[in-house]
């Protein structure tokens, strides 16, 4: 895949970039290793000052970088600006909390005594250069939620971004440099996917994090395992959105529309499978389908647009194949489901009912504004259908019954359970999944500790 900005609203190639050669890549790896030796000795206040400065610059650049993201991958420009603002808030959150999250820990006095120590502690130390393989769908946020904690922990970052968002990738490198981080603290590697394996095998790279597809995650995990290097993987998702009889159905249907089409439906944590109790199925379906059909699809740079184009022609083709397979197998298309005429990689908000286990869309992630509806008879069936997926990223549950809440929290196979609301990431909460959605956690204290050497320090009597 070429490294290029191709406007998904019209298919026009705006800028192309040459991949870095071996000499430049080697220079950057050497620089990362050398920079880490000194950067790791900086203090938390020093790092916080730099990260807060990066946040200030990002706020100043919000309009400009918002348009860049929209032009590169098609999200509505208002959502792009909101993404930039969210990144700035996350930077400030880690600047404020990192010292506390990584403070030395003291074992219990009984354990210290029993070990024969005069004193002991647990210290969090940085690992070194970390390779981040990042996707195009949230081209700022996915990177910042890695970079902010990694830099505050004393690591340095090497970014291999998706090849269709090179301008955003280069902007991030420039942002951290303008903030005062030395050149080797955060570097963008303009290379193709084929280069990832060799980079990960390099002894100077100590760990890797990947957000992306399941095949990409398998490849990185395989190489990292062979090299005995730590990885964090955030892969696909097909999140359930369960609506029970006690729910506020009007509110659940309204939020369901946003939960499905955020980021043009191209979000791992977007709700995708809508599992509705039979007692409220008809009422929910009527409101949900009406809300999806009413969305304004159009130019993502227009302020009034709610759904823009998909990021690539291949992405639209993949989505169409899932919808067409379901239709051939007997599913009913309640709205959308047809590619519009005209330029750009647009696909309408679509709702499908009558899903069976034999349909591809039941097992595969629909990465675009397509929702599947399931009618269930009771709570047991709702849990069964929700868990009948290879993925387990997050989940959404609508009920006012606390006993039902307890059951869903106990039994849903997911990294998060959001009750009477939609899944959203926040720097204060751990983020990640189970099953084929990956392993490890990003954000919160759990995320910042993923790439630390957790060191026992023991002093004899």
For residue 124, report the phi and psi dihedrals to the nearest 5 degrees.
Answer: -100, 115
For residue 337, report the phi and psi dihedrals to the nearest 5 degrees.
Answer: 85, 5
Structure tokens, 235 = 């892969």
Strand partners, 398: 243
Q: CB-based contacts of 127: which residues, under 8 Å, 6+ apart?
A: 155, 206, 207, 230, 451, 452, 453
Residues in the chain: 461
Strands 3-7 and 332-335: unpaired
Annotated catalytic residue 268: yes
Q: How far apart are CA 122 and CA 449, in angstroms?
A: 12
Annotated catalytic residue 234: yes
Strands 117-126 and 452-460: antiparallel
Of these residues, 87, 268, 335, 452, which one is catalytic? 268
Closest of 168, 145, 147 to residue 157, by C-alpha: 147
Structure tokens, 423 = 């899944």
Closest of 212, 302, 221, 305 to residue 266, by C-alpha: 212
Task: State the residue for tokens 């629909």.
Answer: 366
| Burial of residue 23, with CB atoms counted within 10 A of its CB: 0-12 exposed, 13-18 middle, 19 or more buried | exposed
Of these residues, 33, 72, 173, 234, which one is catalytic? 234
Q: How far apart are CA 3 and CA 164, in angstroms?
A: 6
Structure tokens, 271 = 């709700």
Q: CB-based contacts of 429: which residues, under 8 Å, 6+ apart?
A: 416, 443, 444
Distance of CA 385 to CAs 143, 334, 379, 381, 452, Å?
33, 21, 10, 6, 38
Catalytic residue ranges: 234, 268
């Amino acid at each position: 895949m070429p490294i290029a900005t191709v406007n998904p609203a019209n298919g026009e190639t705006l800028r192309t970039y040459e991949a870095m050669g071996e000499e430049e890549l080697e220079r950057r790896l050497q620089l990362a290793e050398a920079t880490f030796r000194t950067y790791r000795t900086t203090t938390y206040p020093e790092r916080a000052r730099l990260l807060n400065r990066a946040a200030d610059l990002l706020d100043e650049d919000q309009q400009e970088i918002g348009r860049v993201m929209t032009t590169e991958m098609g999200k509505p420009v208002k959502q792009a600006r909101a993404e930039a603002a969210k990144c700035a808030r996350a930077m400030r959150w880690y600047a404020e909390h990192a010292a506390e999250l990584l403070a030395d820990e003291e074992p219990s006095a009984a354990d210290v005594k029993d070990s024969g120590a005069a004193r002991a502690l647990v210290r969090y130390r940085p690992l070194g250069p970390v390779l981040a393989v990042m996707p195009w769908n949230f081209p700022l946020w996915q990177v910042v939620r890695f970079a902010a904690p990694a830099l505050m922990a004393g690591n340095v970052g090497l970014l291999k971004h998706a090849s269709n968002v090179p301008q955003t990738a280069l902007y991030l490198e420039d942002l951290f440099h303008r903030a005062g981080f030395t050149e080797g603290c955060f570097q963008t590697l303009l290379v193709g996917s084929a280069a990832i394996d060799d980079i990960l095998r390099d002894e100077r790279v100590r760990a890797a994090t990947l957000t992306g597809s399941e095949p990409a995650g398998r490849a990185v995990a395989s190489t990292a395992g062979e090299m005995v290097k730590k990885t964090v993987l955030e892969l696909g998702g097909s999140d359930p959105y369960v609506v029970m009889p006690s729910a506020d159905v009007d509110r659940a249907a309204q939020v369901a529309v946003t939960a499905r089409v955020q980021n043009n439906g191209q979000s791992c944590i977007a709700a995708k499978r809508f599992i509705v109790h039979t007692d409220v199925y008809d009422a929910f379906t009527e409101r949900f389908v009406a809300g999806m059909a009413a969305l304004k699809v159009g130019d993502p740079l227009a302020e009034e647009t709610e759904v823009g184009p998909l990021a690539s022609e291949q992405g639209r083709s993949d989505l169409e194949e899932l919808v067409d397979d379901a239709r051939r197998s007997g599913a009913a298309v309640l709205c959308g489901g047809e590619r519009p005429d005209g330029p750009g990689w647009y696909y309408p908000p679509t709702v499908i009912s009558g899903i069976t286990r034999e349909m591809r869309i039941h097992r595969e992630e629909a990465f675009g504004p397509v929702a599947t509806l399931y009618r269930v008879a009771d709570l047991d069936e709702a849990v069964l259908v929700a868990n009948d997926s290879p993925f387990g990223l997050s989940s959404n549950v609508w009920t006012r019954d606390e006993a039902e809440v307890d059951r869903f929290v106990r039994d849903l196979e997911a990294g998060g359970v959001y009750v009477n609301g939609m899944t959203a990431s926040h720097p204060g909460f751990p983020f990640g999944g189970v099953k084929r959605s990956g392993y490890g956690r990003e954000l919160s204290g759990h995320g910042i500790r993923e790439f630390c050497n957790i060191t026992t320090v023991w002093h004899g009597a």
